[in-house]
Amino acid sequence: MPFVKKKFYAQKRERAFLYLIRELGYTQKEAQRLIAKGRLLVDGEPITKAGTDIEGEFEFIYFEPITKGLKPTYEEDEFVVFDKPSGVLIHPQNRNTPYSLIDELKYQFGRDANIAHRIDQETSGLVLCAKNKKSERDIKMMFQERDMQKIYLALVHGKFENELIVEAPLLRAEDESAIVRMVVKVDYRGKASKTELKPIEYFADKDMTLVECKPYTGRQHQIRVHLFHVKHPIVGDPIYGQSEEDIVKFLDKELSKKERREKSGASRLLLHANSLEFELYDKKYFIKSDLNFRKIALEAVKNIH
């Protein structure tokens, strides 16, 4: 379990954050943030004010990364790229999350290493990670300035015949129905969003198409919503393209794998972050995933038809 609770002992009375800085190597900002989150407990009760004094025994809950042996697909002095398997979270959802990519990163490269962007839990593929605070700032600025070109592959329902640029604004749903949890929809009040879509291969026996997706903006669920918008939802998508009843069942973890395969075509979202192209520290990079997504996708749907 990445989050562990351990007992510590302060020999003399002192400020809680100073103890964490000295004994555990946190910066002042990190120590104060962790205390504010209720991670330090005295007699079982969380202390949330960083200026509080401690003395004697107390408990501290902190992140202790574990490894499952996932090796980076690419590494430089300042950054590293992982080929994330489908199903692995980027960050823990809560203290009980058993494993996420941040575990692997911090276990291998230390506390200052951090993930620079996100992909959905079920999306597989490339995730760029910074090895230190400086490269984290520089990489995040690169994303902000849209100096990163990402290409995804998706297996979609139907025959996708022509190249297409979708420019449909996206809005987080805020209405009162259960569909609010669908998260994102096309809406003129939303943020400008643009995706270029190009068919690669049509599988007539399955009536599915492998599509290359190039997002120019980085909105949440952008590729999923844009493909649904043009009536080619991604195979395995449990939200976009499904009935409200089934969306709620999925979100409440009440939709079985069998039901999901029958309704959406696969038991995972068939979307893959296939390549990253960017320039960092005066050097150009083109990094491609090692995974054969075409083979993985066809394997995932072979028993459906």
Q: How many CA atoms lie within 13 A of 113 on its CB side?
A: 23
Residue 70, pLDDT score: 96
Residue 300, pLDDT score: 93
Does residue 51 sit in helix, strand or coil? coil
Residue 288, pLDDT score: 97
pLDDT profile of the chain (305 residues), mean per 10: 82 90 87 89 86 89 91 96 96 86 95 92 96 93 86 98 94 61 77 96 97 93 95 95 86 88 93 96 95 95 70
Q: Using CA atoms, how far apart are residues 106 and 109, in angstroms rounded to an integer?
A: 5
Residue 181, pLDDT score: 53
Residue 175, pLDDT score: 54
Output DSSP code: residue 132: S
Least Cα distance to 97 among 183, 195, 205, 3 occurs for: 3
Helix 16-24 / helix 28-36 crossing angle, nearest 10 deg: 120
Residue 304, pLDDT score: 58
Point out the catalytic residue in the list 112, 120, 138, 187: 120
- Dihedral Cα 65, 68, 73, 76, nearest 10 deg: 30
Does residue 229 sit in helix, strand or coil? helix
State yes or no: is 112 an active-site residue: no
Residue 174, pLDDT score: 61
Residue 245, pLDDT score: 86
Residue 93, pLDDT score: 84
Least Cα distance to 280 among 142, 160, 103, 137 occurs for: 142
Q: How many CA atoms lie within 13 A of 234 on its CB side?
A: 29
